[in-house]
């Protein structure tokens, strides 16, 4: 018979607060123990109500000299099913342990899970054993395994104080004011409307907006009341920045002829200090639309740059390529000696920290790396007064919303905020409602998903094994000055194509953010996972008013996206191939048949038979003809 040593329980572990909801699905509790000896017999499993186990697991705490212990392999699972306890040891020990567990789970228990009162054979005890054995007053034949001091400590322990959530909610605004009470003053309005802009009548403005990519403006102010008047768009750089010669000098030096439509309407709104949402396709000049007003905003603050505790402008972007591209634009239009740093994952973290520590005015960052620096208190975000959420839809698609929420907890709430996006889905609307205050909105053409209308979009149909032939045929027919960006769905395919191109004598190199604006063609070797990504890919060319072209290979496995692609092509005024229309119709027919058959089909199973299972899908796809 294995020896069994009973020791005084570890009160520190015993008193540890545990919340039932905090138990994970594989919450293995290695320090729990009842009785144990050497595991000489096969362990047995017993099922108990999960919620009872979870509420009692503080009491199931004893120590032994000879692990593995009774509860070394216990798991309490979340859900509506039962919890399982696995017990090791000899048959006698297993039986005794099971009785003790059932004694705990069984019923009217005190604060430690023991039966209170004299009971049948003694206080705090069960029937001649359990947690104290028989006898009276907690002794019994076997004697209590708890010391008198431990039992008294359990009785005297004060219950944890409950959190007064109602009071916290009621005083939330007071706590918020206390957090930001030491902030310096903030100025937002820097707009000087020229006489030419102010003299334009409503009909003239409406005609201009219609002629320039069909621009629409809207006021998203919360509450009732009349909408605020929209500032007239500017037609030239001079109309927007007449009072800011430093900005004009940089524009003249770079050589831009006139602002893009989105810039013409966004600049007056941002210079007036309004929060702004800009919905437009990629490549329409949104970066410069927020950078130049941001420069003016920082320079005009009551607390000058040299006396601030941290940066004044923050631009959040989804990818490091875009972050590097924005940094390049900042340096190109350098203004008043503002220092810019680019913070992104995969870069030299130590160098980024050093650049921040010596002083910086503009931070361009991806959410993950910035959140890392924020948590380690390596950057001060309380000084930010001008915030940009660039390509917000992509940041949400990439799962950055939690990081964005944490970052903005440390940014002053009265900041000026701009959000850009190529699409307007529900997630972006929720983000805008949460973090922008009474924003204006500028959108080009429609809020529906649309691709850049300066790109000639071509859709080709092929089999999977024919894709490489299509690609190499296209590459060999390119002009010498053309450059192509090829998108694939998997990293391994990227390596495969790069190797093939090198063997064929083609020049292949990685493309960085500051090179993408010169791309003349986009080739979608694999169709993107969703139609929003298609819009972003196509927007890599045809930027800044230039024309471009995209080629997309579509196989029968892409039929789910056919209807969305048709909508994009029609919105951009592109030709829709008949094969694409046929593909969309067949997919809709397939969906209807699947719905009629139900989730399990008509009993055909995997192979077909009764028209169910996967068989109907396989037969449907096998009938495609291109």
pLDDT range class, residue 44, cuts 50, 70, 90: low
Q: Which helix (H) or strand (E) holds 315?
A: strand 313-316
For the residues 189-208, what does the mean pLDDT come to?
93
**Per-residue pLDDT, 274:** 96
pLDDT, tens digit (0-9, with 9 covering 90-100), for 249-271: 989 888 888 899 999 999 999 99
**Who's near 187: CB < 8 A, 6+ residues apart?**
273, 300, 301, 302
C-alpha–C-alpha distance, residues 183 and 172, integer Å:
18
Provide the b/e sequence for 270-288 (b: ≥16 CB within 10 Å): bbbbbbbbbbbbbbbbbbb
Is residue 28 classed as helix, strand or coil in its secondary structure? strand
C-alpha–C-alpha distance, residues 300 and 335, integer Å:
12
pLDDT range class, residue 55, cuts 50, 70, 90: low
Give pTM, 2 decimals: 0.55
pLDDT range class, residue 178, cuts 50, 70, 90: confident
Residues in the chain: 626
pLDDT, tens digit (0-9, with 9 covering 90-100), for 321-365: 899 999 999 988 888 889 999 999 988 899 999 999 999 999 999
pLDDT, tens digit (0-9, with 9 covering 90-100), for 604-614: 443 444 444 44
**pLDDT at residue 9 greater than cutoff 80:** no
Do residues 516 and 321 touch, judged by C-beta distance below 8 A?
A: yes
Determine if residue 216 is left, alpha or beta; phi over 0 gives left, psi from -120 to 50 gives alpha, anything else beta: beta
**Who's near 257: CB < 8 A, 6+ residues apart?**
none
Domains recognised in the chain with CATH numbers = 11-106 (no CATH), 217-223+266-444 (3.40.50.300), 455-576 (3.40.50.300)
pLDDT, tens digit (0-9, with 9 covering 90-100), for 509-564: 644 334 445 667 888 888 888 887 888 788 777 666 667 888 898 888 888 889 98
* Residue listed under structure tokens 């009349």: 226
**Strand runs (DSSP E) across 484-547, as ranges?**
484-487, 521-524
**pLDDT at residue 367 greater than cutoff 90:** yes
Is residue 384 classed as helix, strand or coil in its secondary structure? coil
């Amino acid at each position: 018979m294995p020896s069994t040593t009973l020791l005084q329980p570890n009160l520190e572990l015993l008193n540890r607060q545990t919340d039932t909801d905090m138990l994970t699905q594989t919450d293995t509790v290695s320090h729990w123990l009842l009785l144990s000896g050497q595991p000489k017999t096969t362990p047995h499993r017993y099922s108990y109500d999960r919620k009872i186990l979870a509420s009692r697991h503080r009491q199931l705490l004893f120590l032994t000299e000879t692990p593995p212990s009774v509860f070394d392999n216990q798991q309490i699972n979340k859900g509506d099913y039962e919890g399982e306890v696995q017990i090791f040891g000899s048959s006698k020990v297993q039986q005794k342990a099971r009785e003790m567990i059932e004694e705990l789970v069984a019923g009217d228990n005190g604060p430690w899970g023991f039966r209170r009162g004299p009971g049948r054979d003694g206080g705090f005890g069960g029937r001649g054993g359990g947690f104290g054995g028989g006898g009276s007053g907690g002794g019994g034949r076997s004697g209590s395994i708890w010391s008198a001091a431990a039992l008294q400590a359990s009785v005297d322990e004060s219950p944890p104080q409950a959190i007064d959530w109602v009071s916290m909610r009621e005083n939330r605004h007071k706590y918020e004011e206390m957090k930001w009470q030491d902030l310096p003053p903030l100025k937002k309005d820097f707009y000087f409307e020229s006489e030419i802009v102010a003299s334009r009548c409503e009909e003239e403005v409406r005609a201009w907006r219609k002629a320039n990519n069909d621009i629409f403006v809207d006021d998203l102010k919360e509450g009732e009341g009349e909408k605020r008047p929209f500032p007239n768009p500017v037609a030239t750089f001079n109309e927007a920045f007449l009072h800011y010669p430093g900005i004009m000098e940089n524009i003249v030096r770079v050589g831009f002829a006139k602002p893009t439509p989105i810039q013409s309407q966004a600049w007056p709104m941002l210079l007036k200090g309004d929060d702004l949402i800009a919905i437009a396709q990629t490549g329409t000049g949104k970066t410069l639309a927020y950078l130049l007003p941001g420069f003016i905003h920082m320079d005009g603050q009551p607390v000058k740059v040299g006396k601030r505790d941290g940066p004044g402008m923050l631009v959040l972007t989804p990818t490091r390529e875009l972050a590097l591209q924005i940094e390049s634009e900042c340096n190109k239009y350098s203004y008043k000696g503002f220092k810019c740093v680019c913070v992104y994952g995969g870069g030299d973290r130590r160098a980024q920290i050093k650049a921040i520590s010596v002083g910086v005015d503009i931070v361009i960052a991806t959410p993950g790396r910035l959140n890392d620096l924020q948590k380690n208190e390596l950057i001060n975000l309380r000084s930010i007064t001008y915030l940009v959420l660039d390509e917000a839809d992509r940041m949400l698609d990439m799962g950055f919303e939690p990081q964005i929420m944490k970052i903005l907890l440390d940014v002053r709430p009265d900041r000026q905020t701009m959000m850009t996006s190529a699409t307007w889905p529900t997630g972006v609307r929720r983000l805008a409602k949460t973090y922008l205050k009474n924003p204006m909105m500028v959108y080009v053409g429609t809020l529906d998903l649309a691709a850049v209308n300066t790109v000639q979009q071509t859709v080709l149909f092929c089999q999977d094994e024919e894709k490489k032939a299509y690609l190499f045929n296209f590459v060999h027919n390119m002009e010498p000055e053309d450059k192509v960006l090829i998108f694939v769905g998997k990293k391994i395919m990227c390596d495969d194509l790069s190797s093939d191109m090198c063997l064929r004598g083609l020049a292949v190199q990685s493309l960085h953010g500051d090179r993408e604006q010169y791309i003349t063609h986009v080739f979608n070797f694999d169709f993107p996972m969703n139609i929003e990504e298609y819009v972003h890919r196509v927007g890599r060319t045809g930027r800044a008013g230039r024309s471009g072209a995209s080629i997309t290979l579509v196989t029968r496995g892409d039929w789910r996206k056919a209807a969305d692609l048709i909508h994009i092509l029609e919105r951009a005024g592109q030709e829709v191939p008949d094969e694409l229309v046929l593909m969309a119709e067949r997919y809709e027919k397939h969906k209807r048949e699947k719905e009629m058959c139900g989730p399990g089909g008509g009993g055909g199973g995997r192979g077909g038979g009764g028209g169910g299972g996967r068989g109907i899908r396989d037969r449907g796809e096998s009938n495609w003809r291109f």
